[in-house]
Amino acid sequence: LFHTPPLHTHTHPAPVLFSRCPVGSPGQAGTPPTPPLVAGRARERTMPRAKKLKRKQSQKQKGVQKKSNKKKKQDEVKKEIKEYDPKDKTKPIPLEYELWAEKKGASLNVIHPCKIFQRRPRTDVTEVPQGEHGWEYYIHYDGEDRRMDQWVPYTQLRFTGPKKKTDKKEDDHHDHHDDVTRVRNVHEIQIGEYIMPTWYFAPFPVEYSKFSKLLFCEFCLDYFGNKSDLARHSRKCRWTHPPGNEIYRSKETNINVAMFEVDGKKEEKYTQNVCYIAKLFLEHKTLSYNTHPFLFYILCEVTPRGCVMVGYFSKEKFSEHNYNLACICTLPCHQKKGFGKFLISMSYELSKIEGRTGSPETPISDLGLKAYNSYWKSKLIQVLSERKEPVTINEICKITSMTMENVTQTLKALDILHYDNREGHHISIPESMIKLYREKKARLEAIRDTVYVRPVDPKKLRWFPFHAHEMYKRDRKKGET
């Protein structure tokens, strides 16, 4: 009764894109179809280029949009600063506003110029009384390092003060910070029994942004926001030392120290946690989540519970620029005990075993540069005081593993590199400088009351270069095959 139409009722044939017959024999029966290789290759060639062009155009549009948004924001800030009335306490002070603040010192308070970076409601009261100012401000002191930035109440700010001495280099030096990274997100950390105020921003995961204080396990360096989480972890954690090879152990004045070499490729999580801690105290550290190219040397205090980290330095496994140190950090609670010079001397002792000269990677922080200058000066005075015969700069480089640039720079700083028309450049160190160096060394060795760590003793070092391990593995594989 009912006519059912066929399933395929197309009246027009589908368009043919590629010929199924070989060239020279159109319509020949029994010939296999040729695949569309030419057209397919052309498509493969053109598509990536089109994608690149689209990507570039979108990036340009995003860049223009970012610049326009940044300019709009700057214009809004300037307008807000221009319209602000300091006499009106009900309104908050605009961001980027320049004024003065009472900088509290140990014995004297100083009025210092500053700039406002961030603001927040007052944390000392739940409800602000009528007529009082209801904001706190995160300020940066002009010409000071960012570790001095802090939150201050409104009563500590001044709208008049001494004449400002702006340093353009210092301002340009801090321009690389954006609105997020220039404000500290973590205010304190606790490792074991030590509680340390932080200095800089560190990009911890988003879920930890609500905690102003982070708690670290003193052995595996896992971090937590609550004490209960740390206590639960401590009951399960079985670590007693860093996950690496112990290469040095020594008994120093009132302390026992040990050094461990940790491979960033094998222990990725542990080394990333070390980098998180270092970023809180180093402004110029670039936090790389790929720790595979680096070796970490963890300096520990040996306690009855285990080996607890007090500082570290890292270096590249294969450095193109002959850097023997990439990053160095001593925890603030363990500073001024000789750990910094110990880490620096360890990096140079490793360079001596490798048979090459080395230098730290730049830029160096102000405290790091101070420690390096002190080490370089004491090392050169030690070498020159022990050598009775004349010594050249190349010989000093071989003895100390310092680069020629660092040696000449330190000799000039000590004012013992002189030039004569007859002899040319020559080194002459006065006896008074050698005498002061020996007196200081004797005074440090006589310390018995406080903790002090001397530089590395090469006789106690047990270490082989990383490339030597790789060559040994390669030779062993060849022998097995």
**Predicted pLDDT of residue 478:** 67
Question: Which tokens is 285 given?
Answer: 């550290």
Question: Which tokens is 243 given?
Answer: 């996950």
C-alpha 11/C-alpha 13 separation (Å) is: 7
**Predicted pLDDT of residue 183:** 87
**Predicted pLDDT of residue 166:** 55
Predicted TM-score of the model (pTM): 0.78
3-state secondary structure string across the chain: CCCCCCCCCCCCCCCCCCCCCCCCCCCCCCCCCCCCHHHHHHHHHHHHHHHHHHHHHHHHHHHHHHHHHHHHHHHHHHHHHHHCCCCCCCCCCCCCCEEEEEEECCCCEEEEEEEEEEEEECCCCCCCCCCCCCEEEEEEECCCCHHHCEEEEHHHEECCCCCCCCCHHHHHHCCCCCCCCCCCCCCEEEECCEEEECCCCCCCCHHHCCCCEEEECCCCCCEECCHHHHHHHHHHCCCCCCCCEEEEEEEEECEEEEEEEEECCCCHHHHHHHHHHHHCCCCCCCCCCCCCCEEEEEEEEECCCCEEEEEEEEEECCCCCCEEECEEEECHHHCCCCHHHHHHHHHHHHHHHHCCCEEECCCCCHHHHHHHHHHHHHHHHHHHHHCCCCCCHHHHHHHHCECHHHHHHHHHHHCCEEEECCCEEEECCCHHHHHHHHHHHHHHHCCCCCCECCCCCHHHCCCCCHHHHHHHHHHHHHHHC
**Predicted pLDDT of residue 7:** 44
- CB crowding 219-256: b at 16 or more within 10 Å, else e: bbbbbbbeeeebeeeeeeeeeebbbbeebbbbeebebe
**Predicted pLDDT of residue 236:** 94
Range 153-157, long-range pairs (CB < 8 A, 24+ positions): 153/122, 153/124, 154/89, 154/93, 156/101, 156/102, 157/93, 157/99, 157/100, 157/101, 157/102
Please state the φ and ψ torsions of residue 166, each to the nearest 5 degrees: -85, 140
C-alpha 175/C-alpha 388 separation (Å) is: 50
Which positions are catalytic?
A: 361
**Across the strands, what pairs with 268?**
none
Q: What is the pLDDT of residues 415-435, one digit of tens each?
A: 998 887 777 778 888 999 999
**Tens-digit pLDDT string for the chain (481 aa):** 344 444 444 444 444 433 333 444 444 444 445 444 444 444 444 456 777 777 777 777 766 666 667 777 778 878 888 888 888 888 899 988 999 998 876 566 788 999 999 999 988 888 888 888 889 999 999 988 888 899 999 999 999 888 776 555 544 445 555 666 888 889 999 999 999 999 999 999 989 988 989 999 999 999 999 999 999 999 999 999 999 999 999 998 889 999 999 999 999 999 999 999 999 999 877 766 689 999 999 999 999 999 999 999 999 998 888 899 999 999 999 998 999 999 999 999 999 999 999 999 988 888 889 999 999 999 999 999 988 888 889 999 999 999 999 999 999 999 998 887 777 778 888 999 999 999 988 888 887 788 889 899 999 999 988 877 666 666 666 666 5
**Predicted pLDDT of residue 250:** 94
**Predicted pLDDT of residue 101:** 92
**Across the strands, what pairs with 158?**
100
